[in-house]
Amino acid sequence: MKLIVVRHSEADTYHSRGDYYRELTQRGLDKVHQLGTFLQKQEPIDVIIHSPYMRASQTAKLLKEYVKSSHLYISPDLVPSSEIFDILDEINSHGEERIMLVGHNPHLSYLVTALDRQNKVYALGTATAVGLQFPHQVEAGAGQILFVKETN
């Protein structure tokens, strides 16, 4: 099983209606396209699971065009306040071989750190993707890092 973990791209620092509604900046949109160009050279993605927050949703929808995925799912387990392992059951229940997650920090940095079998500490910047390979299902300490792609 392959998992690509993506932190949403650069977003506005403030929205009058709250954090949930923060949208991508123009620079953020450019970074998504840069990341998408890299990701389209990887294997196609079966499903994209993303946070319901606006900036993550925008990032996922834009990346969908690059990775040839026809399925987008919203998960409350990817909001910034969720526990890092809450998403694992959802990932493994999809039964897909290639899954992308799009969410937030520090949640995703903690998740990648916990999944990596080398116990390396990760700090994902905006519009950063980490590819992991798992022998069977996604579980803590079982992932092999395939790539880390940061955008400028």
Q: What is the pLDDT of residues 7-17, one digit of tens each?
A: 999 999 988 88
Q: Which two tokens stand for residue 113?
A: 């750190």
Residue 47 reports pLDDT greater than 90: yes
| Bridging pattern class, strands 98-103 and 47-50 | parallel
List the CATH code of the domain at 2-149: 3.40.50.1240
* Domain positions in the chain: 2-149
Separation CA 137–CA 121 (nearest Å):
21
Q: Considering the chain, what is the average pLDDT of its residues?
A: 95
**21: how many CB neighbours lie within 10 A of its CB?**
14
Whether this prediction's pTM lies above 0.75 is answered by yes
Q: What is the pLDDT of residue 95?
A: 83
- Over residues 46-72, mean pLDDT: 95
> Which pLDDT tens digit goes with each residue over 79-119?
988 998 999 999 999 888 999 999 999 999 999 999 999 98
